[in-house]
Every structure is written in C-alpha cells, then in structure tokens.
C-alpha cells in the first residue's frame, strides 16, 4: 500500500482525518474539495462543536468520542505556542434529570467504559454554575473531561499539517464517476486526478455525487445556530460566560444545545431538531426569525443575565442525516476501489479522528464495514435513534 495513491474527496472533518490516518500508514494522499477546507457551506464550517462522550446505551459512540478526544488534544498540543487553541476543556452539562432513561443509560455506559461522569444535585448545580437557572431540575449530569472544539479552525489546522507533510490539496468540484472501477476522478476544469483508491467524504454532497445509492439515504437539513453577546463589565461580565466558568450544555428534552463564549464569538445556542431540507450548493443561509426567537427564549430562561442580549451572529449550518443517525463508513457498492464516509447526522464532528481510523482501516485492508456503519443498514425513512 505504501506505493499506492488515495484521493479523498471532501476536506471536512471526516475527509481530513481519513487523510491523516492514510498518510500515517504510508499512503500518498490527495484531498479535493469544491469550496475549500471546512468552508462555510460544509457541516464542519461553524465556529464550534461540542465533544461529549455520553450517548445513552451506545457504547460504540462513547468509546469513539473518547478515542477522538485524545487525538484532538494531541493535535492541539502540536500547535505553535503563539496560536490559539482548538480545544477548550469546559466540560459538558446534561440538563436532564438523572432519572431520565437516556441519562441513566448514559451514566451506566460511561461508568462501564471507565469514563468520568458526575451526577450533580440541585444544590451542587447552583453552587457550581450560579449563572445557570436550574431550579426546576432535581439533578443533572456533568462530563468534566469533555469540552468544545473550534470546528472550522481545527480542520484547517489538521489540513495545514497534512499539506506540510506532503499531502496534495486541490480545490475543485469532482464530477459523478461512472463505470465499475475508477482509475481517476474528473475535475471541473476537465483534468483528471488519478489514483488507485478513492474515498468520498463529501458530506451533504454525497447524494448529489451518488444519487442512485444515496438519495434519501443521506438527507441534508437546515440547522440554525445563534450567537448572543454576553454582558460586559461588572462581576457578572463576559468572563462568567466563558469556557472557564460556563460549560457546554445539552438540554435533551428541549432539543437545544449550546457552547460558552469562546474567543469573544458569543454564547452559542443551537437547535438540535432536524430542520427542513437544504441544497448545500444553492440554498441561502439566512436564519429564520422563529428559530432565533426560540433560541433567545431558551437562553433567557436558563441564563437570566443574558436577557435582551443582542444577536451578534445567526447562521444556517446543516446536518447530513442517515435514517437513524449511525455513520456511513463502507465500500461503494458498485466501485471496487471506492469508499463512502459520511452521515455525521449532527453529532459526527467530535468523532472525526475515530471515523478517519475506521475509514483508513477499510481502505488499507479491504475488510467489511462495521454493521452499524454499513450502507445496507441505511434506510430511506427518518427514524432517528442516535443522539
């Protein structure tokens, strides 16, 4: 395999980490992306993403998240001293009572895998996070070893490192391949990029590249995130809402998640319910007023000090969902030398390193996909089961 070439189509988190692990194994790698590394249209293009390990009974994702955390932190440690970090260990707070079935399963799974989770009662919540209104919650769960990644910049850092190490980066759209085996992919300018093997990790564009196999099996949806400016000055100023004092959070029943103020970007509130369909190329990215109002109402309820906080940014990201939320990491059913990596389904970013490991393993060994990640298990009807 050392003399073989692999082309990875897609310079988002899955493509970048797949390229990393292929390159580490000795393969010569090229990365192609139509719009650039972790560009604003991509699922990896927002400012921040939560890294948590809690996944209810899904031990496979808890373990993947933990393995990925180590690799993200290693990447952060390789940064030059004068560069801003990509990892913020804020911890992650689940705003759901521990007697909730999903929370009980999360506690059990994390305990069995040796990962740290702290049950917090009402008094502990109030003492540790006084800026957070939790009087209606008898208790909650806290993952102290988890935190937040600066999404777009983290992917750019990784790809910069790959390019310095000899990986070729090409900005161009790849045309839909034809036939039963690829020896090249055609680029928008009419040239061809040759290789022995190909990995398609192009996120929301996968159903456009392979409509016969992935239409309806990968469903891109509009997802609104809103950034609010925290108050300035005084004892309850900006620092109160930074990563040192405010955790990332997940309000499971409300369908809301959020991130503390990192790098003066503002407190982020995201809506985790699947939105309407989106075309990643042609649809606009203007957030609708109803979504902004919903984010504000949640913020003001849980963080009273943020009442009337101005919106400093509202943007439309996207999920690229499989039928149940499991990732897609499998060989292409028609091409003998191509693999598909996608289906992040709104929770995939944190898992980039582990997904890259799994994808590289398939490419390098030709082994079968894990059943949870196989194309055959992906249906056309939305029945979300992984959160």
Mean pLDDT throughout 141-152?
A: 98
Q: What is the pLDDT of residue 4?
A: 58
Read off the DSSP letter of residue 297.
H
- Give the CATH number of domain 89-146+219-318: 3.30.9.10
Contacts of 235 (CB under 8 A, 6+ apart): none
Q: Is the dihedral of CA 172, 177, 183, 189 positive or negative?
A: negative
Q: What is the pLDDT of residue 102?
A: 92
Q: What tens digit of pLDDT does each residue of 117-129 get?
A: 999 999 999 999 9
180: confidence class by pLDDT, cuts 50, 70, 90 = confident
Q: What is the pLDDT of residue 387?
A: 86
- pLDDT at position 378 over 50: yes
Mean pLDDT throughout 338-357?
A: 98
Residue 251: φ, ψ to 5°? -100, 90
Mean pLDDT throughout 41-67?
A: 97
- pLDDT at position 3 over 60: no
- pLDDT at position 194 over 60: yes
331: confidence class by pLDDT, cuts 50, 70, 90 = very high
CB atoms within 10 A of CB 196: 16
- pLDDT at position 2 over 50: no
Q: What tens digit of pLDDT does each residue of 266-278 get?
A: 999 999 999 999 9
Q: What is the pLDDT of residue 233?
A: 59
Q: What is the pLDDT of residue 96?
A: 84
Q: What is the pLDDT of residue 169?
A: 97
Q: What is the pLDDT of residue 235?
A: 52
Read off the DSSP letter of residue 295.
H
232: confidence class by pLDDT, cuts 50, 70, 90 = confident
Mean pLDDT throughout 154-179?
A: 95
Mean pLDDT throughout 10-23?
A: 98
Percentage, residues of the chain above pLDDT 70: 97
Q: What tens digit of pLDDT does each residue of 23-35 get?
A: 999 999 999 999 9
Contact of 379 with 215, CB cutoff 8 Å? no
Contact of 186 with 7, CB cutoff 8 Å? no
CATH 3.50.50.60 fits 5-44+152-217+323-377, yes or no: yes
Mean pLDDT throughout 235-254?
A: 88
What is the rounded distance in angstroms from the CA atom of residue 276 to the CA atom of residue 331?
A: 29
Contact of 14 with 328, CB cutoff 8 Å? no
Domain ranges for the chain, please list them.
5-44+152-217+323-377, 89-146+219-318
Contacts of 110 (CB under 8 A, 6+ apart): 53, 54, 62, 116, 117, 143
14: confidence class by pLDDT, cuts 50, 70, 90 = very high
Mean pLDDT of the chain, nearest integer: 94
What is the rounded distance in angstroms from the CA atom of residue 187 to the CA atom of residue 177?
A: 10
Higher pLDDT, 382 or 1: 382
Q: What is the pLDDT of residue 239?
A: 87
What strand order describes the sheet that includes 139-143? Answer: 118-121, 139-143, 92-94, 248-251, 256-259, 267-271, 219-228, 311-321
Angle at 359 between CA 11 and CA 177, to 5 degrees: 65
Contact of 316 with 224, CB cutoff 8 Å? yes
What is the rounded distance in angstroms from the CA atom of residue 298 to the CA atom of residue 316?
A: 18
What is the rounded distance in angstroms from the CA atom of residue 340 to the CA atom of residue 10?
A: 11
Angle 59-77/352-365 helices, nearest 10 degrees?
Answer: 100
Residue 14: φ, ψ to 5°? -70, -45
Least confident of 88-102, 211-225, 350-364: 88-102
3-state SS, residue 240: helix
181: confidence class by pLDDT, cuts 50, 70, 90 = confident
């Amino acid at each position: 395999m050392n003399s073989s070439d692999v082309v990875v189509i897609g310079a988002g988190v899955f493509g970048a980490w797949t390229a990393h692990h292929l390159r580490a194994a000795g393969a010569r790698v090229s990365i192609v992306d139509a719009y650039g590394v972790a560009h604003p249209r991509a699922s990896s293009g927002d400012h921040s993403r939560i890294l948590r390990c809690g996944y209810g009974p899904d031990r496979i994702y808890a373990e993947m998240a933990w393995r990925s955390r180590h690799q993200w932190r290693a990447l952060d440690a390789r940064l030059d001293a004068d560069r801003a970090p990509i990892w913020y260990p804020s911890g992650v707070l689940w705003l759901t009572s521990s007697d909730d079935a999903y929370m009980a399963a999360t506690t059990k799974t994390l305990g069995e895998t040796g990962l740290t989770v702290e049950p917090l009662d009402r008094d502990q919540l109030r003492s540790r996070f006084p800026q957070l209104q939790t009087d209606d919650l008898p208790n909650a769960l806290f993952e102290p070893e988890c935190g937040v990644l600066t999404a777009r910049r983290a992917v750019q850092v990784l790809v910069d490192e790959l390019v310095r190490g000899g990986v070729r980066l090409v900005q161009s759209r790849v045309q839909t391949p034809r036939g039963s085996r690829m020896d090249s992919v055609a680029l928008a300018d009419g040239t061809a990029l040759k290789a022995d093997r190909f990995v398609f990790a192009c996120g929301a564009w996968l159903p456009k590249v392979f409509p016969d196999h992935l239409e309806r099996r990968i469903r891109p949806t509009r997802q609104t995130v809103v950034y609010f400016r925290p108050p300035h000055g005084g004892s309850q100023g900006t620092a109160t809402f930074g990563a040192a004092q405010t955790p990332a959070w997940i309000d499971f029943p409300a369908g809301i998640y959020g991130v503390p103020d990192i790098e003066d970007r503002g407190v982020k509130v995201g809506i985790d319910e699947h939105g309407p369909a989106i075309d990643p190329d042609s649809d606009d990215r203007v957030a609708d007023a109803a979504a902004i109002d919903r984010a504000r109402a949640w913020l003001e309820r849980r963080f009273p000090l943020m009442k009337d906080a101005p919106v400093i940014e509202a943007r439309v990201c996207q999920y690229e969902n499989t039928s149940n939320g499991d990732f897609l990491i499998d060989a292409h059913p028609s091409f003998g030398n191509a693999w598909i990596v996608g289906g992040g389904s709104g929770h995939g970013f944190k898992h980039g390193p582990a997904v890259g490991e799994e994808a590289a393993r398939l490419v390098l060994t030709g082994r079968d996909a894990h059943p949870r990640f196989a194309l055959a298990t992906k249906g056309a009807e939305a029945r979300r089961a992984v959160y």
